[in-house]
Structure 1
Amino acid sequence: MLQTFEEPELVSAIYGRGIAYGKKGLHEAIESFKEALKQKADFIDAYKSLGQAYRELGNFDAATESFQKALLLNQNHVQTLQLKGMMLYHHGSLDEALKNFKRCLQLEPYNEVCQYMKGLSHVAMGQFYEGIKAQTKVMLNDPLPGQKASPEYLKVKYLREYSRYLHAHLDTPLTEYNIDIDLPGNFKDHWAKNLPFLIENYEEQPGLQPHIKDVLFQNFETYKPDVQELICVADHLGSMMQYETPGFLPNKRIHRAMGLATLEVMQAVQRTWANSKVRMNGKTRLMQWRDMFDIAVKWRRIADPDQPVLWLDQMPARSLSRGFNNHINLIRGQVINMRYLEYFEKILHFIKDRILVYHGANNPKGLLEVREALEKVHKVEDLLPIMKQFNSKTRDGFTVNTKVPSLKDQGKEYDGFTITITGDKVGNILFSVETQTTEERTQLYHAEIDALYKDLTAKGKILILSADLGEVDAVCNLILSLVYYFYNLMPLSRGSSVIAYSVIMGALMASGKEVSGKIPKGKLVDFEAMTAPGSEAFSKIARSWMNLKSISPSYKNLPSVSETFPTLRTMIEVLNTDSSHCLKKTIVVV
């Protein structure tokens, strides 16, 4: 037994198997690594793999401890440095991440992952000169003929172009430009789809301009006391958006960004309800629903420049006419996406219902037999044989579409998401969901959101003048209904979930209500909306955990987020500043 565990290949195989079986397997993998370490206490690969398994689960502290133990055994263990650095980046600890990537590159100068992540970390912190230098090194590392390009090589040119754009706009007021309009359509389309950078007639972004200096580090103490309070409140609000679900690593940088987004949404909505105009995209006008979401989009983008957070309806017409798919694999072969495990049963019941409806309409005589067969199905994987048995059209798989009921036009339904189940001869299945963004579908959802936003604005204006609890309740339901359609539309290439939740929290705060309850373990807000039978059901579910309370009066005294952080430079500065001081402060959220 001892000898077998001394084989790193075997431990890696156990780990690989653990990953493949999803959440349950990941826990099994962790136990296997622990057992290996009992047998051989200095097994570096087991510590490294244990750290990565914990990181996959989203357990930052346990992962850190395991990575540290691996590095105590060998401080030059490149794989551990790389994995630890990536975890730190996705935890929002960019300074610490950089140290690991730099050490990794001292040991392996041509390590593409560390080089890419070093460039990304620098850019995220506003250190564009170092960032673009590292990115260029990745670009020069062309794959050999016949060699597959690495993911980093495929992504790096997009990052470099985006980095140049951000650098050029560091000191331009955020109200005066729009990334979705400025970036070329084909660039956005290719970037969002993660395609190779083969864009015809592409004109590169201008190189770095020497008169625009890098972002300098701001000490927390250099901010005025009211801004310090603003930052600490933002950190608290952002932490309320954290998913307590395996696979989601807490990211303190995202927390702060989305907390600030929440406060900025609150302030902008309050101004709108008081008939004040806002300055957006170079124009002064009354705020529309997209402007409200754009506040959150702005913060989400800058928190992690690696991810293209783009409005899909601003993509080239050609891309939209084909349909732009937001695709999530729930099961692929033996790999289970543990983030969505909570929803497997709910989706299974939905599919069963749709199958019964289908057979009720097309094969009423055989309905009883189908029903009996479906009652024996307890796993999604077992649906395919049933469908093949009772439907001759089912060969390799089938799809089921969800429907989203309209509030605006009673009785009307929109396309929700598509569930696909396919299988091969050896029993591997693909179980996935996707939303398809077409122009027609987008217009239908926009009309729904427009109507709700109009109603929300009207009721918000009344609310400001009265303290009627009925009005507060109506406003709350309108906010949640509006976001229900946003979630089902999935109008962004990335980040829709946290962006929409920060809008919910901010708009609720504008109405005088604060979310004090955390999102329950295993729950994903976007999937709650997508699997709810309607907006009312989603509102009810969301309110059950939000534990809405009257807002603290102290929020009114916080400085304006948009005026305090009017440029990319000031946004990056505040995201970089150390937040440990906030732990010493008492945040009043009563």
Structure 2
Amino acid sequence: MAGLAAIEIAQKVVKVWRSLQTEWKISTKGASKHGKKVRRKEKLNPPSFNRGGAGCSTSSFLESSTNSAVEDKPYGRPSLPWHAIYSLAVKWRQISEPCDPIVWVNKLSEEFNSGFGSHTPLILGQAKVVRYFPNFPRTFNVTKAVIKENKYVHNKKDHLINLYENGKLQEVMNAESCSDLHRVVGEDFWLATRCNSMTVEGKRLEGTRISLEKTDQMGYDFAIKTPCTPSRWDDFELEMTSAWEALCDAYCGENYGTTDFDLLENAREAILRMTYYWYNFMPLSRGTAVIGFAVLLGLFLAANMEFTGNIPEGVQVDWEAILEPDPHSFISSVKSWLYPSLKTNTSWKGYPDVASTLETTGLVVAALST
């Protein structure tokens, strides 16, 4: 699933970048001629994400994803909204895993307005969740660090619990278990991780919520929860749009089309910036992790870089993002294993166009079944 999704994403993105590079050349010539650079107005139009049709074998596979997505706008440069890129991967996941309800949270109407969000437990009662418990030590330390910085947490009713008196902050830092931490706070609580904006200087977005709840005399639920409220959605919408534009700017200038790894440094960082905010955003009901990585692969491929390695054992890329306070920290945490596995590759540009070759859901299912 991820391989075909990545190729299709790369094919779509390259078309956009080719148009942007043409515009860059024109604007550069204009700057030389008139002594200044003129940049035309740009507008990104978000599509409707959960449009029907993908479940019918006679429907167009990408009809609801991009609606061809690449349009020449008379008032500005061609645009492909960031939503459309991720919608490509969403469609592949919806077809490959038909039993998973994978939809954009903002299309859930009542659930969206009430703050519907993901819930990922690390500890349930006295049981350690095998898939996620390896992240417990780091998540627990992040919890203590956030408490030390903020000096408060929120209770179940969202009221503040101040912890700056009577030496409680030191007790928090000395806590070694869920029971220790719950005893210091005195009741069930939650807090939000740091997620610093790169679009609005000094602004801190609401990252992932870490919650600790007592279940019985000896058990605790320790989990991450990511609510998607309208206000939070607007914040991350702005951040994702800015990150996508930054990636286009990084690749579509004078280094466009290069296979020089050093010259692609800005493009790599821009791709990881976009990935960082996607994982902290968590805008899907399910599948955010794999869809985010599939898009990452596609964007690298579009920039002539192919990921040829494997994610190291014990590493979950989405957790690397949500436990870091900003894109720079996230990049530092993954580049040691990611960058050595990136190899320049342009051979994929000779592949048939995925969208026109697999134009119906039936053909997609057949391709995934071979």
Structures share a fold, TM > 0.5?
yes
Q: Say whether 1:381 aligns with 2:125.
A: no
TM-score normalised by the chain length of structure 1: 0.50
How much has 1:342 moved relative to structure 2? 2.0
Matching of residues 115-514 of structure 1 within 5 Å: 257-275=1-19, 280-281=66-67, 285=71, 286-316=79-109, 318-359=110-151, 366-367=166-167, 370-371=169-170, 373-374=171-172, 376-388=174-186, 395=187, 397-462=188-253, 463-464=255-256, 466=258, 469=261, 471-514=263-306
How much has 1:470 moved relative to structure 2? 5.2
Structure 1 pair 566/434, CA: closer, same or farther in 2 (3 Å)? Answer: same
Q: Contact conserved, 1:459 with 1:471, CA < 8 A, in 2? A: no
Which secondary structure does the structure 1 equivalent of 2:134 belong to?
helix
Which secondary structure does the structure 1 equivalent of 2:284 belong to?
coil
How much has 1:382 moved relative to structure 2? 2.6
Which secondary structure does the structure 2 equivalent of 1:346 belong to?
helix
Q: CA RMSD in A?
A: 2.3
Matching of residues 55-74 of structure 1 within 5 Å: none
Q: Which amino acid is 1:556 matched to?
A: K
Structure 1 pair 514/381, CA: closer, same or farther in 2 (3 Å)? Answer: farther
Larger relative helix fraction: 1
How much has 1:487 moved relative to structure 2? 0.7
Which secondary structure does the structure 1 equivalent of 2:310 belong to?
coil
How much has 1:363 moved relative to structure 2? 5.9
Paired with 1:380 and 1:507, the residues of 2 have a C-alpha distance of: 40
Q: Contact conserved, 2:259 with 2:304, CA < 8 A, in 1? A: no
Which secondary structure does the structure 2 equivalent of 1:508 belong to?
helix
How much has 1:423 moved relative to structure 2? 1.0
Structure 1 pair 376/466, CA: closer, same or farther in 2 (3 Å)? Answer: closer
Larger relative contact order (CA 8 Å, sep ≥ 6): 2
Q: Which amino acid is 1:520 matched to?
A: P
Which secondary structure does the structure 1 equivalent of 2:256 belong to?
helix
Paired with 2:291 and 2:117, the residues of 1 have a C-alpha distance of: 19
Paired with 2:220 and 2:162, the residues of 1 have a C-alpha distance of: 26
Paired with 2:295 and 2:216, the residues of 1 have a C-alpha distance of: 46
Larger relative strand fraction: 2
How much has 1:356 moved relative to structure 2? 2.7
Cα deviation code 1:160-185 (max 9, x no counterpart): xxxxxxxxxxxxxxxxxxxxxxxxxx
How much has 1:333 moved relative to structure 2? 1.2
Q: Which amino acid is 1:310 matched to?
A: V
Which secondary structure does the structure 2 equivalent of 1:499 belong to?
helix
Q: Say how many residue pairs are matched.
A: 310
How much has 1:262 moved relative to structure 2? 0.8
Q: Contact conserved, 2:312 with 2:337, CA < 8 A, in 1? A: yes
Q: Contact conserved, 1:344 with 1:380, CA < 8 A, in 2? A: no
Q: Contact conserved, 1:333 with 1:428, CA < 8 A, in 2? A: yes
Q: Which amino acid is 1:552 matched to?
A: N
Structure 1 pair 380/461, CA: closer, same or farther in 2 (3 Å)? Answer: same
Structure 1 pair 563/551, CA: closer, same or farther in 2 (3 Å)? Answer: farther
Paired with 2:247 and 2:69, the residues of 1 have a C-alpha distance of: 22
Cα deviation code 1:229-277 (max 9, x no counterpart): xxxxxxxxxxxxxxxxxxxxxxxxxxxx11100111111111111118x
How much has 1:412 moved relative to structure 2? 0.4
Which secondary structure does the structure 2 equivalent of 1:464 belong to?
coil
Paired with 2:88 and 2:303, the residues of 1 have a C-alpha distance of: 18
How much has 1:551 moved relative to structure 2? 2.5
Q: Contact conserved, 1:329 with 1:431, CA < 8 A, in 2? A: yes
Runs of 4+ in 1 over 4 A off after TM superposition: 358-365, 465-471
Which secondary structure does the structure 2 equivalent of 1:435 belong to?
strand
How much has 1:402 moved relative to structure 2? 1.1
TM-score normalised by the chain length of structure 2: 0.78
1:565 to 351, 354, 358: 358
Paired with 1:491 and 1:522, the residues of 2 have a C-alpha distance of: 24
Which secondary structure does the structure 2 equivalent of 1:339 belong to?
coil
Matching of residues 96-115 of structure 1 within 5 Å: none
2:369 alignment counterpart = 576
Query: Which of the two has higher C-alpha Rg?
Result: 1
Q: Contact conserved, 1:330 with 1:432, CA < 8 A, in 2? A: yes
Structure 1 pair 413/563, CA: closer, same or farther in 2 (3 Å)? Answer: same
Structure 1 pair 421/461, CA: closer, same or farther in 2 (3 Å)? Answer: same
Q: Contact conserved, 2:301 with 2:345, CA < 8 A, in 1? A: no
Q: Which amino acid is 1:418 matched to?
A: R
How much has 1:526 moved relative to structure 2? 1.0
Structure 1 pair 365/494, CA: closer, same or farther in 2 (3 Å)? Answer: closer
Q: Identical aligned pairs, as a percentage?
A: 27
Paired with 1:521 and 1:453, the residues of 2 have a C-alpha distance of: 29
Paired with 1:363 and 1:336, the residues of 2 have a C-alpha distance of: 28
